[in-house]
Chain A
Amino acid sequence: QLQLQESGPGLVKPSETLSLTCTVSGGSITSSSYYWGWIRQPPGKGLEWIGTIYYSESTYYNPSLKSRVNISLDTSKSQFSLKLSSVTAADTAVYYCARLMAGRAARPKNFDYWGQGTLVTVSS
């Protein structure tokens, strides 16, 4: 059974960089059948797609966050990571990592496994 687990600081100061890691167990992180992604949910709001990374390390980001986001893959540790720079209080959210299935033409199509989520608060 595939499992994903987010880890990282729960408190980040404004203007600093938020860094989270997702550890994948029970499956391969290098399969061409899947992407790996980050999603967040601010308090009282809906889900927002942040970005995804393919096994080839190609990355795709939400246009509204693109200038501040970086997602990377560490296949040796079966992990992928999120960095979000210049954070503000608006970046306070529960952050989820998830696996996405790849469809025709390797398009990402749906999330099938999710981590439990981790709350990150941006505050001084």
Chain B
Amino acid sequence: SAVISQKPSRDICQRGTSLTIQCQVDSQVTMMFWYRQQPGQSLTLIATANQGSEATYESGFVIDKFPISRPNLTFSTLTVSNMSPEDSSIYLCSGDAGLVKDTQYFGPGTRLTVL
């Protein structure tokens, strides 16, 4: 199984600023994903991080707001840009488990509070 770590684990940010979250996997994975979990709610997929090409965003999420990098098969970053209080959420990354499509390992999440 893959172990996924995220940095930072939590942060408190001011409105209008940006935060970059890092996701590191301890082994190579084909697919990496970024999710958002708003307070008291379930997970929502933001985008699929593609190695060597632009991320694939889900409906309602755009690159200007959530730019994503994936420079290699073990690392990805998500930036939350021009933050507002509505961006306060837990942000989670995941990587495919290589078992069968849609089995994933998740990181512990980054708890973001925007003031």
A binds B: no
A residues near B, CB below 8 A?
Answer: none
B residues with CB within 8 A of A: none
